[in-house]
């Protein structure tokens, strides 16, 4: 028989007798946006690789050893020029267990007399039409190659890019959808809009909202706010990142929509107010002041996380904090 010492017994008694805390916050998402949410805009990884590459090409391995180095025969060049029929390369693979005959998209830079691979994407064999664009994620092959080709300075029709990205954004596999979103963000022009809008409307993805608002402020804002109304089950945990994306996008066109939305949906007034304050939209001051002095502003509270515990703070008090920070905008 195991004996329980006094310290352990005391701990058991205390845990039984002490009341369980009434309200605890599980995550930092569970509150309105108050300009303190640690959200970062998406990066454009492939675009940076393209900028730092001297040559970008699709190639097939003629020889390949276990350390992933061998002779590569170029099949199609997207950027730059290669004089030799084959080039000797070594790289950190995006896929393993490969043999001669494997196809890849290489981003290479001249280093003395050698070529340095700064990015490699493994191209799967048919009929699996995928490519390892981001880490180990399998994205759509044609969409990825088309975006890289376009960003490298080659001509690709805008409507073709748009259709490819939207098709991938609706794909049944999550990795294909995620890759499509990242590619649309890389592209960030009119061809991106349908895919970004789909991700914003269907998933409330803050990255899609950010990129869309930077391209088309009214459309991006409408998609974000519509998502919150259409998905009440997601309001608590997605409210902060969505409004953070609106603030970080830095598009003053969102202010009118936020004013109207907050007036129609008071439960979002705090988040709307802090975005308008960060954007320095002075025409929002009168709107926030009007919300603050509404009869129910002091009676209604917002649940706000303070560490692990949550406090219920009067809405009027939080609106006053938003008014006090006008002009302290976020970096875009």
pLDDT in tens, 156-172: 999 999 999 999 999 99
CA distance 290 to 207: 31
Residues 6+ apart with CB under 8 A from 178: 134, 137, 139
Check residues 305 and 76 and name the one with the higher pLDDT. Answer: 76
The pLDDT mean for the chain works out to: 88
Three-state secondary structure call for residue 14: helix
- Return the pLDDT at 6: 52
Q: Indicate the pLDDT class of residue 252, thresholds 50, 70 and 90.
A: confident
**CA count, 13 A, side-chain hemisphere, 330:** 24
- Return the pLDDT at 327: 60
**Across 4-90, where does the E strand assignment appear?**
55-61, 69-79, 87-90
**Opening angle at CA 161, ends 93 and 126, nearest 5:** 45
Residues 6+ apart with CB under 8 A from 166: 180, 194, 195, 198
**Looking at 31-45, 73-87, 108-122, 182-196, which range is the least confident one?**
31-45
Q: Which residue's entry shows tokens 């001051």?
A: 285
Structure tokens belonging to residue 297: 């502003």
DSSP string, 112-145: TTEEEEEEEEEEPPTT--EEEEETTEEEEHHHHH
**Looking at 8-17, 91-100, 111-120, 145-154, which range is the least confident one?**
8-17
Phi-psi region at 203: left, alpha or beta (left = phi > 0; alpha = psi -120 to 50):
alpha
Radius of gyration of the chain (CA): 26
Residue 277 has pLDDT above 90, yes or no: yes
- Return the pLDDT at 25: 38
- Return the pLDDT at 31: 83
Phi-psi region at 35: left, alpha or beta (left = phi > 0; alpha = psi -120 to 50):
left
**Span 316-323, mean pLDDT?**
95
Q: What is the pLDDT of residues 105-117, one digit of tens each?
A: 999 999 998 999 9
Q: What is the DSSP letter of 329?
A: P
The 3-class SS string of 225-250 reads: HHHHHHCHHHHHHHHHHHHHHHHHHC
Q: What is the pLDDT of residues 202-240, one digit of tens each?
A: 999 999 999 999 999 999 999 999 999 999 877 778 899
CA distance 44 to 228: 27
Asked if 122 and 104 count as a contact pair (C-beta separation under 8 A), the reply is: yes
Q: Estimate the crossing angle of helix 217-230 against helix 254-264, to 10 degrees.
A: 20
Show the DSSP H helices in the chain as ranges: 6-17, 45-52, 141-151, 158-169, 174-187, 193-203, 206-215, 217-230, 235-249, 254-264, 269-278, 283-292, 315-324
Three-state secondary structure call for residue 104: strand
Residue 5 has pLDDT above 80, yes or no: no
């Amino acid at each position: 028989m195991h004996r329980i010492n006094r310290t352990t017994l005391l701990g058991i008694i205390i845990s039984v007798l002490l009341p369980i805390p009434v309200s605890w916050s599980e995550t930092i998402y569970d509150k309105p946006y108050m300009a303190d949410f640690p959200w970062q805009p998406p990066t454009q990884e492939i675009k940076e690789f393209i900028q730092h590459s001297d040559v970008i090409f699709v190639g097939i391995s003629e020889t390949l050893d276990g350390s992933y180095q061998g002779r590569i025969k170029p099949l199609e060049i997207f950027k730059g020029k290669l004089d030799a029929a084959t080039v000797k390369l070594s790289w950190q693979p995006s896929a393993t267990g490969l043999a001669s005959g494997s196809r890849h998209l290489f981003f290479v830079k001249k280093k003395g007399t050698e070529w340095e691979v700064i990015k490699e994407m493994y191209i799967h064999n048919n009929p699996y039409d995928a490519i390892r664009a981001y880490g180990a994620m399998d994205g759509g092959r044609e969409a990825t190659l088309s975006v890289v080709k376009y960003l490298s300075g080659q001509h690709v029709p805008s409507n073709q890019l748009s259709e490819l990205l939207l098709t991938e954004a609706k794909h049944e596999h999550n990795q294909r959808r995620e890759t499509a979103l990242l590619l649309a963000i890389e592209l960030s022009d009119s061809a991106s809009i349908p895919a970004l809008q789909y991700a914003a409307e269907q998933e409330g993805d803050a990255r899609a909202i950010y990129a869309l608002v930077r391209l088309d402020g009214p459309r991006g804002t409408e998609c974000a706010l519509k998502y919150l109304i259409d998905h009440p089950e997601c309001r608590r945990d997605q409210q902060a990142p969505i409004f953070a994306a609106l603030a970080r996008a830095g598009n003053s066109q969102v202010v009118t929509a936020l004013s109207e939305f907050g007036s129609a949906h008071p439960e979002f007034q705090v988040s709307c107010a802090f975005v308008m304050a960060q954007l320095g939209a002075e025409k929002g001051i009168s709107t926030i002041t009007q919300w603050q002095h509404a009869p129910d502003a002091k009676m209604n509270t917002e649940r706000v996380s303070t560490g692990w515990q949550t406090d219920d703070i009067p809405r009027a008090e939080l609106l006053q904090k938003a008014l006090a920070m006008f002009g302290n905008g976020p970096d875009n």
